[in-house]
């Protein structure tokens, strides 16, 4: 899949994303604190969100807090955290290192009886000086009754897109976080 650097939040943040992604703001209202992208051939969604920094005793606890908050918002019936790691920013810019959480959530959709099994790929950038947590979330349905799920190949592709995005994400203008 072809990727290119994409401007987020009016160019204050830049990151590599697949060129085929659909900007959800072209389809519906998106809050000013979010950038939302959709894969054209599946139900994968990408959300970049500016949130208030959470008080947490460790990076892992902060990532798990945001994962649990997402599970609550999704009315998840089950969750599992598989892994939390830190990818250091070694580019020499001021963008914080990213905390990566990989997990799963069982998310009921609409009035369906069987919840979707959704792989969650979450990147957390803790912008301490601005009291902000910048959260990147890839929601990747691996089973779904609506046909939007991806197989193993689609999951691997989404994981590669996620890695490219969080490794390349660069905060250009910290004035965004006022």
In a domain, 8, yes or no: no
In a domain, 14, yes or no: no
Contacts of 153 (CB under 8 A, 6+ apart): none
Count of the separate structural domains present in the chain: 1
In a domain, 22, yes or no: no
Instruction: Calculate mean pLDDT across residues 141-155.
Output: 88
Instruction: Calculate mean pLDDT across residues 89-101.
Output: 95
Instruction: Calculate mean pLDDT across residues 29-40.
Output: 96
CATH of residue 98's domain is 3.40.1000.10
pTM equals 0.95
What are the Cα distances from residue 73, in Å, to 14, 20, 147, 148? 27, 27, 22, 20
Whether 148 shows a pLDDT value over 90: the answer reads no
- Cβ atoms < 10 Å from Cβ of 86: 14
In a domain, 20, yes or no: no
Whether 1 shows a pLDDT value over 80: the answer reads no
List, for residues 109-137, the tens digit of each pLDDT value.
877 778 999 999 999 999 999 999 999 99
Instruction: Return the pLDDT at 114.
Output: 85
Tell me which residue range forms the domain holding 150: 44-172
């Amino acid at each position: 899949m072809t990727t290119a650097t994409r401007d987020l939040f009016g160019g204050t943040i830049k990151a590599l994303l697949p060129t085929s992604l659909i900007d959800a703001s072209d389809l519906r209202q998106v809050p000013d604190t979010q950038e939302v992208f959709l894969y054209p051939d599946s139900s994968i969604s990408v959300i970049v969100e500016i949130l208030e920094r959470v008080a947490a005793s460790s990076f892992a606890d902060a990532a798990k807090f945001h994962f649990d908050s997402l599970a609550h918002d999704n009315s998840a019936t089950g969750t599992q955290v598989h892994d939390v790691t830190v990818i250091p920013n070694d580019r020499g810019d001021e963008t914080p290192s990213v905390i990566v959480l990989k997990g799963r959530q069982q998310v009921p959709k609409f009035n369906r009886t069987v919840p979707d099994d959704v792989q969650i790929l979450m990147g957390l950038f803790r912008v301490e000086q601005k009291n902000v947590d910048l959260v990147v979330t890839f929601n990747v349905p691996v089973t779904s009754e609506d046909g939007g799920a991806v197989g193993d190949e689609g999951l691997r592709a989404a994981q590669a897109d996620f890695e490219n995005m969080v490794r390349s994400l660069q905060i250009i203008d910290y004035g965004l976080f006022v």
